Amino acid sequence: MLIVLIFLLVLSVLVLIHELGHYTAARIFGVKADEFGYGFPPRLIGLVKHNGKWKIVSGKDETQYANTIWSINWLPLGGFVRIKGENGENADKNEPDTFTAKPIWQRLIILAAGVTMNWLLAFVLFAFIFSMGATAILDGVPEGAVIENREIRVTNLLPEAPASKAGLEIGDRVLTVAGVAAENYEQARQVIAEQQDQAFDIYIERAGEQKILSVQPEFIAQIDKYGIGVGLADVGKVKFTPAQSVYYGAQATWNYTIEVVKGFGILFRDIIFLRRVEQEVAGPIGIAVMTGQVAKQGIVPLLQFSAILSIHLAVINFLPIPALDGGRFLFLVIEKIRRKPVARNLEARIHQIAFISLIVLILLVTLRDIGKYGGAIWGGVKGLVGM
């Protein structure tokens, strides 16, 4: 139950921040927002400020209100904002507070404001993580950073090598090697090399439990000498100054954005030219499972995961696909070039077809997620009902 709540909280924050961007930009340019809702219809309750007082909206007379309706809806999956005239309705009435009545440059900003807020959220989360401290490999850490809890961790294992056979796992904290409490990973590697083909013990800590593992070195062809096939690194909690946190927060946001764009480029290339998807694609259930797995690791990994999800949401929404912000943005660019809008009925039909296609795609990915994560989901359900 807790995992479900964490997933809904993360998703709601990301989507509501996105919609808040649209809402804020619309209000700045004098465009009315008919409704700002948490979750998706059917509506549970709606409130609007009318004549200086808050009142419950019945649903039949909501069009008469000059102010935004704030609603809570039954499906707690993010939220939405209904901007007056966004879909071209009432375009012929020339009402000054409608979306279509505004200059194209203002409409472009309103459409781009949602993804901008997602990128801004990712930047803030990354900057916060860097300022409060995050566990990281210490190679290449810039000067001025504060390093705490320095330790040696296993970062890589060769399959079927002595370290794997002995039971070492990635993430293990190395306490001693052949009785030596190494100060850093280079010293630990030197001690391992000195053992040649002689068996020795590695004292490690895993999930709060300490273990002694016996390792027998073997000749490893990849390195052309005796070894145990383990990768080690110095790891510690790294904290940056406020200025550094801002800089590296922006850098992380940019780097992740580039990687996400590259990932989608590869995905579309595979679909178009290979007629298959070779990348791992997750739907809502897959993301929910991953959110739960990350949440178990602590608040910092969860915040980092949320920042990466926010970047994904921004990139996806700004793809030039009808029904998404990027598609609507593209139609406005076409309108600017042609100096007249695309026929409203045609644009609406294109958006509807694209929206239905996206829903079908999400359902297909969700069905695949059920097949992949069904065991974990069923285990969670049994835990909830006490089976």
Is residue 208 within 8 Å of 114, Cβ to Cβ?
A: no
Alpha helix positions (H), 93-225: 104-132, 162-166, 185-194
pLDDT at 341 over 70: yes
| pLDDT score recorded for residue 362 | 61
Residue 127: closest CA among 312, 310, 315, 303: 303
Task: Give the H/E segment covering residue 216.
Answer: none
pLDDT at 367 over 80: no
List b or e across 355-373, with b for residues whose CB sees 16 or more CB atoms inside 10 angstroms: eeeeeeeeeebeeebeebb
From residue 288, give the alpha-carbon distance in Å to each of 49, 115, 261, 294: 36, 21, 22, 10
For the record, the structure tokens of 11 come out as 């998703």
List b or e across 21-38, with b for residues whose CB sees 16 or more CB atoms inside 10 angstroms: bbbbbbeebebbbbbbbb
Q: Which CATH number fits domain 146-239: 2.30.30.90, 2.30.42.10, 1.10.3720.10, 3.40.1160.10?
A: 2.30.42.10
Is residue 72 within 8 Å of 44, Cβ to Cβ?
A: yes
Q: How confident is the model at residue 384 (pLDDT cuts 50, 70, 90)?
A: very low
Tell me the sheet residues that pair with 211. Answer: 204
Residue 235: closest CA among 188, 179, 170, 184: 184
- Determine which of 78-82, 223-227, 281-285 has the lowest per-residue pLDDT on average: 281-285
Tell me, rounded to whole angstroms, the distance of Cα 356 from its chain centroid. 24
| pLDDT score recorded for residue 157 | 87
pLDDT at 357 over 90: no
pLDDT at 35 over 80: yes
| pLDDT score recorded for residue 380 | 43
pLDDT at 291 over 70: no
The 10s digit of each residue's pLDDT in 106-131 is 999 999 999 999 999 999 999 998 88
pTM of the predicted structure, to 2 decimals = 0.74
The 10s digit of each residue's pLDDT in 293-334 is 665 667 878 888 889 889 989 998 898 888 888 888 998 999
> Greater confidence, 197 or 284?
197
Nearest-angstrom CA–CA distance, 370 and 387: 20
- Mean predicted confidence (pLDDT) in 182-210: 92
| pLDDT score recorded for residue 259 | 86
For the record, the structure tokens of 272 come out as 């178009």
Nearest-angstrom CA–CA distance, 80 and 18: 9
| pLDDT score recorded for residue 203 | 95
- Mean predicted confidence (pLDDT) in 139-152: 83
pLDDT at 382 over 60: no
Q: How confident is the model at residue 383 (pLDDT cuts 50, 70, 90)?
A: very low
The 10s digit of each residue's pLDDT in 204-262 is 998 889 999 999 999 888 778 888 989 999 988 888 888 889 998 999 899 889 988 88
The 10s digit of each residue's pLDDT in 60-72 is 556 667 789 999 9
| pLDDT score recorded for residue 363 | 65
| pLDDT score recorded for residue 281 | 53
User: Average pLDDT, whole number, for the chain?
Assistant: 82
Contacts of 13 (CB under 8 A, 6+ apart): 121, 306
The percent of residues above 70 in pLDDT, for the chain, comes to 80
What backbone torsions phi and psi does residue 39 show, to the nearest 5 degrees?
80, -175
